[in-house]
Amino acid sequence: MLVLWDIDRTLVYVGETDRAVYREAFRQVVGRDAVKLPERGTGRTMPLAVRELLTANDVDRQDLEPFAERIVALLPKLLAARTEQLRAGGLVMPGATAALAAVDARPDLIPTVVTGNLQQNAEIKLGAFSLDQYVDLAVGGFASDDSSHRPALVGIAQRRAGARYETTFDRSNTVIIGDSLEDVRTGAEGGARVIAVASGTTTADQLTEAGADRVLESLRDPQAVLRAVVELTARRE
């Protein structure tokens, strides 16, 4: 069974670090300060957030794509330079380490990530809090794989994991664990069941109404996380 973890506000909270990186990248590329920043906690991919940043700050249409490409290329370097700020201003979400460890300890579960982060940014964030040891990042799905359509990342992760572990993964044996409406949509459209965690900016009721298969208030009970994964991936006749 394939378990696809979201990162931001599900496993870690990075405080103001991402926003500081967006500000710095915008300043370096555009040559002025950004007045408006991307909305928090939406789950959208980083490249889409960059385009939103440029549009919201009145960058000329002809400059949008070249500027977006340059900013996206800068993001991993700027985040890596702020690793200490990431640790100091961020935190591991309650229960995340124990939940990750519990999933990783099960030989029938393959944990990785599906995230709106670029792959390098995902590695930096998880590594900063020593959480990368609990997931197989080689088979994840990242915004650097498909920046515009996050549900496509599910299929990318399923194919990578299938090739590595010689198993076919589809909706019947794939679960996403995430905190946002975008995580719910990603599972519904991408081909995975969804365990939503009300640890971000979206309430449990909103996650339920959006169609999450299970909703947890937090990751504090690793056995509850495991039960939800197993129940959702149990083969149905």
Give the three-class secondary structure for 35. Answer: coil
The confidence score (pLDDT) of residue 237 equals 37
pLDDT tens for 35-54 read 998 777 667 788 899 999 99
- Contact between 79 and 127 under an 8 Å Cβ cutoff? The reply is no
- Contact between 7 and 142 under an 8 Å Cβ cutoff? The reply is no
> Helices (H) and strands (E) in the chain — how many of each?
10, 7
| Angle, CA 93 vertex, CA 223 and CA 178 arms, to 5° | 70
Q: What number is the average pLDDT over the span 4-24?
A: 94
Residue 147, Ramachandran bin (φ over 0: left; ψ between -120 and 50: alpha; else beta): alpha
pLDDT tens for 100-149 read 999 999 999 999 999 999 999 999 999 999 999 999 999 999 999 976 78
The confidence score (pLDDT) of residue 149 equals 81
* Closest listed residue to residue 174, CA positions, set 217, 113, 105: 113
Which pTM was predicted?
0.93
Residue 22's alpha-carbon distances to 31, 39, 106, 128, in angstroms, are 13, 12, 38, 19
